[in-house]
Amino acid sequence: MNNLFYLLHGTIFRTKEDLNDLIEINEVFSDESLIVARRNAFRKYQSYVDVFMDGIGKKYNTYNDSVQKLQDFVNSYRVEHPLNNPDLGKIEVDFDKGLFIYLVIDPSDTYTTKEGDLIYNKKILIHFFNADFENYWKAALKGLQSEADFYLSNNIDVNKELETIAHANKNSIKIINTPINYQKLIDNGL
């Protein structure tokens, strides 16, 4: 279990004027203490967000505020249709744009793309910022629950960073804290 780590991965538009000018982020965070590696991944994530916010002349206030203000970094605002036929629906052209934090639970289970990128197959999404919050937040919440379960079942110290999220008609869940206020999302019925 000593070789587990956190992965900060992302593809971001450098400017909205040139959608081919991309920033690629792929950083690994490991430490003897997995919770320290996690904190380091979140710190680095936040430093990127702060730089992007500074680039548009704004200061970080909240996660929700920054996601709205940083849309130009993850959203090309292009709409494409299969076979150029609107009746066939839309193609999500920016699905790979954003900044994501994963817990990699099996670093040996990988493959390499044709472009030479190393992909980890067994990873848990725990945090993100992209143009499609509505379709990712539930997956990230489920990932946070899996991460907390992993920590607890393996007796890994979470250093008092565990929080409980209450569901109205379901059992409450435990997660390790995150900048997204999941309790508020659930309370608001999202």
Residue type, 104: V
**b/e for 156-190, b at 16 or more Cβ within 10 A?**
eebeeeebebeeeeeeebbbbebebebeebbeeee
- Among residues 84, 95, 171, which one has the least CA distance to residue 139? 95
Take residue 177 and report the two structure tokens written for it. 């804290």
Which residue spans within the chain are E strands per DSSP? 5-13, 22-29, 98-104, 110-112, 118-120, 123-129, 162-165, 173-176
Q: Give pLDDT < 70 ranges for the chain.
A: 1-2, 93, 168, 189-190
The reported pLDDT for the residue numbered 53 is: 94
Strand, coil or helix: 119: strand
Q: How distant, in Å, are the alpha carbons of 20, 98, 99, 107, 110 from that of 113?
A: 20, 19, 20, 16, 10
Which residue spans within 45-171 are E strands per DSSP? 98-104, 110-112, 118-120, 123-129, 162-165
The reported pLDDT for the residue numbered 148 is: 95
Evaluate whether 7 touches 102 at the Cβ level (below 8 Å): yes
The reported pLDDT for the residue numbered 105 is: 92
Half-sphere CA count of 136, side-chain side, radius 13 A: 19
